[in-house]
Structure 1
């Protein structure tokens, strides 16, 4: 819970659903439902994280365990620590009805007026297990917010005609990029730290090293020193960040990160004036069917420069007066190009061109933001009714975060680079990780505790609170870096001091999921870097042993879930051919700019897939093979797909393990423009591997020799450790002197559902011109429909959320991966396009799938 003042919170849990609360003369709210007993009072006190920001996680430890198949309701009561009369609960605070709250639209969290929100536990029986997963949700990303679609599912299971606790998501895993810190809408950046005019946290400063010298200057973080749309040069030059053009609106301070999280998840957090401008656009979209160009242009003009407001209220007046407002700040804000633009008097061609470019970007952002704001109340309700777990990828902090050792050296050697990374991780701890593992975060000192035994996360949350308290109360600022910031950086493993590994904050965790466990990997801060420029191993071998189990959880779990932000088994054609080739071309041809050469190629093509580092990938495969049946959940790539990997060990003739990769991405950040070409049938065929199966043989710690003719590339692969070679492409008669240690086959899955438009009344007759013409016509028409809708058999391009269910398959199970995406799209014949793609994968190989890979 995030509050604007200090409160004490109490969590009440009730048995059943449709629990209605009513006002009472002696209590805040009453209900006839059974309130579950707790071992101790389920209370918490909010912790100060800013001038107008108080947050806590409140937990209830129940006397008796919750039951699977039972729906439970909950209420949160609050009372002010300073004013006894200031008290309430979800109902009195207006959260249990559809209404306008202080001018902002919201949905009843309990689906009916005055009814409490609910949740259910994951089912023990896989037949009733229902898990959702998703990633990559950008406020101004293209497309609808697919997370809102889960609201329809939950609503039907709660108040529909088919009420059933097993027909709603029992857990939701958000697998990365829950915010885009490196690409924030300009108007949000202007308002992220403001709650109806008041600062959330207070005035923060960051350090900038001057001209690469040893001296630094403290610069206040605000829209004067760091104006929206003008941060790219600053962050590239003084922080070493590589987000490119999107970093023109990059988050810097903890307040900006905190405000962005709040705005992403709750419409109540939006500055009211800001919200009204966005709602004006949203209302016009509904009224005109999307024709909002004039209204958006008016909002953009007002943001850039508004003569009716004080002189420095608009962006352009602030930029023009920056020298008077912030002294030497101009040396950081302006580079030669900007000086040339703004020093023209009167403003002429270059200034007008710059302003037009900014306005066009604003116009593109505002329409998407209006749609985001319109569906945000549904998203808030989804999260209020579904146990939700999260993990970072890169965009929570900055694009390309820990891309390579060179990148790491470049950023961490600069004070501003460390400030941005630290503030991003501090915000992640408060707004995401605290809810993942609340037992490891004890934010307020407990009586009789031993400081020497405190968990690293507890030390971190207290230091973050100390930092925010100092900023909010302008106290101890002279010693803030020494007493607070340096210890935080040490806990995060990015400080000057070397502390024992067990005292560092570790971000991986695991949670119970019905009959099994889910293991969430940290693939960002525990990487290994073989060299300065080489692709990283996303998890080092040492970290892998910490983050994954040696044996099957619970002893006989039917499968295990493992979460990796980036897909472990991606699209091989893309990862092994297209990305490396494109990155190499960029690296060779880029000779200017902040990152010439190899690094620029890696940056442009996200050179950090699991498949780019054979050693790390093979370590993971071997580790997961011990679990035998593994379901991997991932996001990151802005398309959805499913794949299967079968694993043979040693001389085994049948697969020892099966690993199923489920990727759902993005929630709201569709590829469009030139990238729209990826939606074509030909592109999908190329990306999923022409043939849809990939086989490889692997040798570990072996000295290998070959007989017969072998390609130069394969000879080079044989000299590496591990030696990883495809089975295809060998010369006839070529052999290796030793059998592989293991081998695997990966295949991309296809939706085999028969659709109405698939039915053909007769086969195409090749020697019949009429039949041939009509057959080709149907093929072209179907491809065109798929291109428009993004609905393919293997890949999903529209904004989507993944749904995971199971069905019995003899003594084992089949995994059903269904993609739910935007509704109402129509094909070229004006027919509504279906909104589901389904991939079904058995957890045990059968038939020809059991034929082990051989050199061919």
Structure 2
């Protein structure tokens, strides 16, 4: 028998006026939500349709979103509980009864502290379950455990800035587990059009199901070489597309498996056919996944105790997602490719986007979603996906102090006017104008950009060269400076006279971490900008390559290099922070979770990465000017 809670509860949006909680159960729940201060009940809300919205993703899979108005004190330790009714009215199950590991030692309920002023926070991206590095969310769990009652030291929030799942890089054993979850929970079946695949059942029963999906992923004839006019090429060019997720059920099941240990007790990692070519890889993936699964109880506990905000990046959908206009043309004209992308976007909304700011998904959005959940047939499925493609409100803000502004750098691209195969800008003109309006009147801003706005110049140069050679997809050439329009517009936003005086930019994506201090040149009253990048939570850039790139960046783009005059950021002064105890090193590839402490004016007081072995990678005060 499966657990009463399959994933969650995950604490999502939390302010003095609003509380949002997300969880998945095998049935539609009823009961109550309670809050306590010093063991005294201070809030009781019935889990009714007025407070909880439910989305059915299968026979035994109900996603619940509790969204309630609250009037609870800030800076106060508050515990909460879900009281779920059983088969009889007298039977009530509390969170600690259903999952004792959800509470910290000595506690009977999860807790939170509402922090309107953000004194400190956790942030990170890129959590790949089968990567051999440790899952750094465990370091976040340890941080919360040590500061549970401390309203100054307990992190105010966890910002996940992309690649919470890897839909395009899935271990064979993970895909095998996903298919067991689909059968166990009776997740939605789906049909396909415009493809040799008839439906999801045919896909799941294919003889070469694992490690060979690149053979059934859609192909395109666009952009074939002139000497191969009828040649085809893969639309999904990820090097690791051998087990690429394709159906909505697969994407949804993966979220359940990466956020909770509940279903793993019903799942086997082995028991399917693996050809000789992939045996060694398979054994490595199984070993890494076993380590990952062992830590999931603590991950589940962390997510229940800290407000979690999320935004997608490429791997939440697929590696090349909207990278160029040419790729978009190929992907969205192919029915199967369009469905695959739409399915991962559906799962993103359901498991990530919905809880960020629920009001954005009411009205027409909910009508489309509700139509699909009531009748999950091909017409309703396609209608919902079409609506998702037209939707332009994935970005959101939090009216905290400093204000948190999270941008969508994936679905509102500034397509190249020079060539269809040139990288698109990460935000178009309209989106940039909307961003500027969010910033006006603020003294300090926490800006979340999945990709660093100020990146490592030598890597951006390599991406630029690859683009000139016609291979932008090969190197993921999607940095902010790759598109002239979006680059100049973003830099002009920083130069605007009404821009905030302090910008803290949180980013991920790149599988290494660094910290830059940025100022405008030739300005007496320049805003101060800090680019803080932490990546990845469970991923890392390969050594020794990252050390080589780190050295090349210092050599070629140091403060006196003439190459500085040829960059789009020549009007900016950038100073790279040293890593304490590591000499001249500026980039750290070790898997970790970012931790930032802020001063009252919104400037960073302390920047580090937390690691599962208890160590920290600390970034010192500014010490060396780098390429602007």
Contact map agreement 1:240 1:417 (CA 8 A) in 2: no
Alignment counterpart, residue 189 of structure 2, candidates 188, 203, 213: 203
Displacement of 1:270 in angstroms is 2.5
Structure 2 equivalent of residue 656 of structure 1: 526
Alignment counterpart, residue 537 of structure 2, candidates 667, 672, 679: 667
Displacement of 1:670 in angstroms is 1.9
Partner secondary structure for residue 69 of structure 2: coil
Alignment counterpart, residue 836 of structure 1, candidates 617, 623, 626: 617
Q: Distance in 2 between matches of 1:566 and 1:270?
A: 32
Alignment counterpart, residue 385 of structure 2, candidates 480, 483, 489: 489
Contact map agreement 1:6 1:47 (CA 8 A) in 2: no
Q: Distance in 2 between matches of 1:194 and 1:40?
A: 30
Alignment counterpart, residue 464 of structure 2, candidates 568, 580, 596: 580
Structure 1 equivalent of residue 26 of structure 2: 4
Structure 1 equivalent of residue 446 of structure 2: 561
Displacement of 1:219 in angstroms is 6.0
Alignment counterpart, residue 816 of structure 1, candidates 584, 606, 624: 606
Alignment counterpart, residue 234 of structure 1, candidates 204, 216, 220: 216
C-alpha distance 744-518 of structure 1, shift in aligned 2 (>3 A): same
Displacement of 1:201 in angstroms is 1.2
Alignment counterpart, residue 516 of structure 2, candidates 643, 646, 655: 643
Partner secondary structure for residue 505 of structure 2: strand
The structure with more radius of gyration: 1
Q: Distance in 2 between matches of 1:219 and 1:46?
A: 24
Q: Distance in 1 between matches of 2:605 and 2:96?
A: 40
The alignment's TM-score, normalised by the length of structure 2, stands at: 0.85
Q: Distance in 2 between matches of 1:265 and 1:676?
A: 29
Contact map agreement 1:7 1:79 (CA 8 A) in 2: yes
1:349-373 alpha-carbon deviations (Å, 9 max, x no partner) = xxxxxx2221111011111111111
Q: Distance in 1 between matches of 2:67 and 2:199?
A: 40
Structure 1 equivalent of residue 205 of structure 2: 224
The reply on whether 1:246 has 2:240 as its aligned counterpart is: yes
Structure 1 equivalent of residue 104 of structure 2: 111
Partner secondary structure for residue 413 of structure 2: coil
C-alpha distance 693-123 of structure 1, shift in aligned 2 (>3 A): farther
The alignment's TM-score, normalised by the length of structure 1, stands at: 0.64
Structure 1 equivalent of residue 272 of structure 2: 303
Q: Which has the higher strand share?
A: 2
Partner secondary structure for residue 491 of structure 1: helix
1:438-491 alpha-carbon deviations (Å, 9 max, x no partner) = 23345xxxxxxxxxxx2x43234324423xxx34xxxxx4xx32xx13321331
Q: Distance in 1 between matches of 2:45 and 2:449?
A: 35
Structure 1 equivalent of residue 588 of structure 2: 796
Q: Distance in 1 between matches of 2:477 and 2:200?
A: 33
Structure 2 equivalent of residue 516 of structure 1: 402
Contact map agreement 1:208 1:219 (CA 8 A) in 2: no
Contact map agreement 1:11 1:43 (CA 8 A) in 2: no
Contact map agreement 1:561 1:633 (CA 8 A) in 2: yes
Structure 1 equivalent of residue 158 of structure 2: 172
Alignment counterpart, residue 136 of structure 2, candidates 146, 150, 170: 146
Structure 2 equivalent of residue 525 of structure 1: 411
Displacement of 1:582 in angstroms is 4.6
Displacement of 1:678 in angstroms is 2.4
Gapped runs of 5+ residues in structure 2?
1-22, 221-232
Contact map agreement 1:397 1:421 (CA 8 A) in 2: yes
Q: Distance in 2 between matches of 1:204 and 1:725?
A: 47
C-alpha distance 461-209 of structure 1, shift in aligned 2 (>3 A): closer
C-alpha distance 400-198 of structure 1, shift in aligned 2 (>3 A): same
Gapped runs of 5+ residues in structure 1?
17-31, 98-107, 211-215, 278-298, 305-314, 316-354, 443-453, 472-476, 495-503, 588-597, 697-710, 718-723, 728-742, 756-785, 825-833, 843-847
Contact map agreement 1:642 1:660 (CA 8 A) in 2: yes
1:806-833 alpha-carbon deviations (Å, 9 max, x no partner) = 247xx88444211112427xxxxxxxxx
C-alpha distance 793-821 of structure 1, shift in aligned 2 (>3 A): farther
Displacement of 1:137 in angstroms is 0.1
Structure 2 equivalent of residue 506 of structure 1: 393
The reply on whether 1:749 has 2:577 as its aligned counterpart is: yes
Structure 2 equivalent of residue 34 of structure 1: 41
Partner secondary structure for residue 242 of structure 1: coil
The reply on whether 1:270 has 2:264 as its aligned counterpart is: yes
C-alpha distance 221-241 of structure 1, shift in aligned 2 (>3 A): farther
Q: Distance in 2 between matches of 1:204 and 1:376?
A: 30
Partner secondary structure for residue 363 of structure 1: helix
C-alpha distance 55-639 of structure 1, shift in aligned 2 (>3 A): same
Contact map agreement 2:481 2:568 (CA 8 A) in 1: no
Q: Distance in 2 between matches of 1:402 and 1:385?
A: 34
The reply on whether 1:436 has 2:361 as its aligned counterpart is: no
C-alpha distance 202-493 of structure 1, shift in aligned 2 (>3 A): closer
Higher relative contact order (CA 8 A, sep 6+): 2
Q: Distance in 1 between matches of 2:340 and 2:254?
A: 14
1:187-239 alpha-carbon deviations (Å, 9 max, x no partner) = 221221434952441332223436xxxxx855645422371212102114379
Q: Which moved more, 1:364-373 or 1:113-122?
A: 113-122
The reply on whether 1:457 has 2:349 as its aligned counterpart is: no
1:69-110 alpha-carbon deviations (Å, 9 max, x no partner) = 211111112226x764664220221x2x2xxxxxxxxxx222
Structure 2 equivalent of residue 365 of structure 1: 285
Structure 2 equivalent of residue 121 of structure 1: 114
Partner secondary structure for residue 578 of structure 2: coil
Task: Give the aligned length.
Answer: 586
Structure 2 equivalent of residue 27 of structure 1: none
Q: Distance in 2 between matches of 1:157 and 1:725?
A: 43
Partner secondary structure for residue 422 of structure 1: helix
C-alpha distance 49-218 of structure 1, shift in aligned 2 (>3 A): closer
Structure 1 equivalent of residue 4 of structure 2: none
Contact map agreement 1:664 1:802 (CA 8 A) in 2: yes
The reply on whether 1:536 has 2:529 as its aligned counterpart is: no
